[in-house]
Structure 1
Amino acid sequence: MKKMRHAFAWTLALACTAGTANAATIVLDFEGVNATYPSGYAFVQDFYNGGTSSDGTSGTNFGVGFSGNAQAICLNTPGTSCSNTSRGGLGDPDSDKGGLFFLSGSETFMNVAAGFDTGFSFFYSAANVAGSVSVYDGLNGTGNLLATLALPTTPSTCGSEYNAGFCPFVASGIGFAGTAMSVSFAGVANQVVFDDVTFGSVTPGVPAIPEPETYALMLAGLGVVAMVARRRKAKA
């Protein structure tokens, strides 16, 4: 029985470790930044930083703040038009009403005081002008440049039901070494939109669910438990 408990505890510990690492992945979907839908272009401000947007709304406190020019654009859905941008039915259907953009300047910054590592990813639309993202180990684009990613223009191919030239969004991401504390989203104002900004993964919008490796560890551990049980039964 002691061996069985040890085997089960070992399995559970490994599974929990893998699950914890994956749960560290954070996704900012920009839903709810605007107080109403289908209208609004609220400034994000401290919506994800324990405070509120310029509309007075608040989201989960991930310790993530944005520059003063960062705004949430209202995205079109079938039959509803509030901008010239839409996800076009692609990606997470619960993330199709709001995105990140800027109407002034040539870039906007996202700051993560606690830092993040491994990778960074997002969906974006840039129908007319290319953009870029850069990852730094200091706040507001200071310190060392850890990674930079050029963003080519994207197709404008959605159906008429979305009534949007910036549509659909395209996935992009990059890995890097070190600990990042800020990201620059750059391009021409009002010409590039981002969504499902994801920390800790080079694939955007990864849900916090057990990875295949976790299931494999659990099955292996359960196999050990079953083997010990059979041996005990044979000796009885």
Structure 2
Amino acid sequence: MHSLSTLFAALIAAGACATASAAPITLTFEGVGDRASVLEFYNGGSDSAGHAGSNYGISFSRASLGIIDADAGGTGNIGNEPSPSTVLFFLSGSAATMNVAAGFDTGFSFYYTSARAGFIRVYEGLNGTGKLLASLALNANTGNCAGDPNGGFCQFDPVGVAFAGIARSVDFGGSADYIAFDNVTLGASTPAQDVPEPGTLALVGLGLGGLARLRRRQS
């Protein structure tokens, strides 16, 4: 017969495995405030602006920000988001960090847009610690693309990676204000899709500023 402590430990381990093997979860960042820190938005709490989302047990570092497409009333120099109109980005440091205390397995995927090289690193421990389970180098992918109708960062490419083990944190890295992510999917190596927000297409030139900008006044 198991002791109470042994049985309790076994139940906890079984629960952790069940959580890690659950159906894929996709974070669209819709509802996060413009330039607000995501923080506990997906962890039963709120972002830095007081908005709350679904409780998936997922938290983000303070540097992890949401930004809303300027065409939708925000300050983002973005277009064609996979799930309009909010994406994840950062304005300071070299990465935004996501923590998943219960862990997840199988794969990790997302859409991204970037004017400079970036990276993704998936770790076994929280806060980018422990064994590195997977990493991806992200190439710059902005250029001539059609906004919706505006937005210089308007090409969102799907990327994913499969890995063995249980992951508990991810670093979204690159140059601050020059890379953004959307439809972040835990538990699958292919990101969930959505329909880009409608709008009249307009070509955008190569001269990109940063992702964050003040919304231009309408004439």
User: How does the TM-score come out when normalised to structure 2?
Assistant: 0.75
Structure 1: how far apart are the matches of 2:181 and 2:105? Answer: 20
Matches within 5 A, 1:95-134: 95-126=83-114, 128-134=115-121
Matches within 5 A, 1:202-217: 202-205=189-192
Question: Which residue is equivalent to 2:213?
Answer: none
Q: How many Å apart are 1:22 and its aligned residue?
A: 9.2
Instruction: Tell whether 2:59 aligns with 1:59.
Output: no
Given that 2:183 and 2:193 are in contact with CA atoms closer than 8 Å, whether structure 1 keeps it comes out as no
Given that 1:132 and 1:151 are in contact with CA atoms closer than 8 Å, whether structure 2 keeps it comes out as yes
Instruction: Tell whether 2:169 aligns with 1:182.
Output: yes
Instruction: Tell whether 2:173 aligns with 1:149.
Output: no
Given that 1:171 and 1:204 are in contact with CA atoms closer than 8 Å, whether structure 2 keeps it comes out as yes
Structure 1: how far apart are the matches of 2:40 and 2:101? Answer: 13
Structure 1: how far apart are the matches of 2:22 and 2:193? Answer: 10
Given that 2:79 and 2:148 are in contact with CA atoms closer than 8 Å, whether structure 1 keeps it comes out as no
Instruction: Tell whether 2:152 aligns with 1:165.
Output: yes
Q: How many Å apart are 1:83 and its aligned residue?
A: 2.0
Instruction: Tell whether 2:183 aligns with 1:196.
Output: yes
SS at match of 2:99: strand
Given that 1:113 and 1:139 are in contact with CA atoms closer than 8 Å, whether structure 2 keeps it comes out as yes
Q: Which digits, 9 at most, give the CA deviation of each residue in 1:98-148, with x for residues without a partner?
A: 00000000011100000000000000000x211000000000010000000
Q: Which digits, 9 at most, give the CA deviation of each residue in 1:178-205, with x for residues without a partner?
A: 0000000111110100000001111111
In structure 2, do the counterparts of structure 1 residues 172 and 160 end up closer, same or farther at CA, with 3 Å as the change threshold?
closer
Structure 2: how far apart are the matches of 1:81 and 1:68? Answer: 20
Q: How many Å apart are 1:84 and its aligned residue?
A: 1.0
Q: How many Å apart are 1:81 and its aligned residue?
A: 6.5
In structure 2, do the counterparts of structure 1 residues 63 and 160 end up closer, same or farther at CA, with 3 Å as the change threshold?
closer
Given that 2:67 and 2:74 are in contact with CA atoms closer than 8 Å, whether structure 1 keeps it comes out as no
In structure 2, do the counterparts of structure 1 residues 44 and 160 end up closer, same or farther at CA, with 3 Å as the change threshold?
closer
Rg larger in 1 or in 2?
1
Matches within 5 A, 1:19-34: 24-34=23-33
Counting aligned pairs with the same residue, the percent is 49
Instruction: Tell whether 2:57 aligns with 1:70.
Output: no
Question: Which residue is equivalent to 1:3?
Answer: none
Find 1:140's aligned residue among 112, 115, 127: 127
Find 1:83's aligned residue among 67, 70, 76: 76
Structure 2: how far apart are the matches of 1:99 and 1:197? Answer: 10
SS at match of 1:148: strand
Structure 2: how far apart are the matches of 1:80 and 1:159? Answer: 19
Instruction: Give the RMSD, CA atoms, in angstroms.
Output: 2.2
Instruction: Tell whether 2:29 aligns with 1:42.
Output: no
Unaligned regions of 5+ residues in structure 2, if any?
1-19, 195-219
Given that 1:73 and 1:99 are in contact with CA atoms closer than 8 Å, whether structure 2 keeps it comes out as yes
Given that 1:100 and 1:194 are in contact with CA atoms closer than 8 Å, whether structure 2 keeps it comes out as yes
**1:64 aligned partner, one-letter code:** I
Q: How many Å apart are 1:164 and its aligned residue?
A: 1.2
Q: Which has the higher helix share?
A: 1
Count the aligned residue pairs: 176
SS at match of 2:127: helix
**2:133 aligned partner, one-letter code:** L
